[in-house]
Amino acid sequence: MERRLTAVIRGIVQGVSLRWRVTRQAQSLGLRGFIRNEPDGSVRLVAEGPERDLQALLDWLARPKHAWDVHEVKLKWSSSRHDFTDFTVQW
C-alpha cells in the first residue's frame, strides 16, 4: 500500500548537503516527492511510496554518520495522493 510521509526536520539541516543526499536516497528507493529548505531553518520532506521504503528513508536519515545533526522530526502519515512522478529538490 502506498503512503504519503510529510516530515519537518529540525537541527543542523541546512548547508550540509541534506537535500541533495536525501534526494539521491529517495530516488534509489523509488520514492516520489520533494525536499526543500524552509525559511525558519527547517527542512520539509514530502514523499510517497510503499510504507517500508518511506521508513527505510527515515532510518537512513537518522544514522549518525551524516554531516547533518537532526534534533527533531515531526511526522505526518497519510494516504498517497499520487501528486508526484519523481523525487526532486524544490527551491
Q: Alpha helices, DSSP H only, in the chain?
A: 18-28, 51-62
- The distance of Cα 19 from the centroid of its chain, to the nearest Å, equals 8
- The distance of Cα 80 from the centroid of its chain, to the nearest Å, equals 15
Please tell me the distance from the alpha carbon of residue 16 to that of residue 28, in angstroms, as a whole number. Answer: 20
- Among residues 37, 44, 52, 81, the one annotated as catalytic is 37
- Among residues 19, 24, 52, 63, the one annotated as catalytic is 19
CA-wise closest residue to 45 among 6, 90, 87, 3? 6
Whether 19 is catalytic is yes
The residues that are catalytic are: 19, 37
